[in-house]
Amino acid sequence: MNTERIKELAKQAGDDWDHTLESDKEFLKKFAELIVRECINQAHSVGDLRGANDDVIYGADTAAVKISKHFGVEKLILKK
């Protein structure tokens, strides 16, 4: 996971990251990862769309990959 991004978000949520116990930091990192994985699963559940010319638009895959890269979640399992 992208620890710096999690740190930024935790601070935005009111956490004093610099004075947070390591065990709590690990909890926050895991919690953030679970939320991101849930977002990825939700993006995949949307399915593909049809464009104007009946072309398939693979929006769910694009969204899921973008979310996983943004948050640095590795071992992405694409659900089909």
Give the pLDDT confidence of 32-42 residue by residue, as tens digits.
999 988 888 77
User: 3-class DSSP state for residue 33?
Assistant: helix
Give pTM, 2 decimals: 0.66
Over pLDDT 70: what percentage of the chain? Answer: 71
| pLDDT attached to residue 40 | 82
pLDDT on residue 57 = 59
User: CA–CA separation, 29 vs 43, rounded Å?
Assistant: 21
For the chain, domain boundaries? 3-10+21-71
Predicted confidence at residue 32, as pLDDT, reads 92
Residues 6+ apart with CB under 8 A from 15: 28
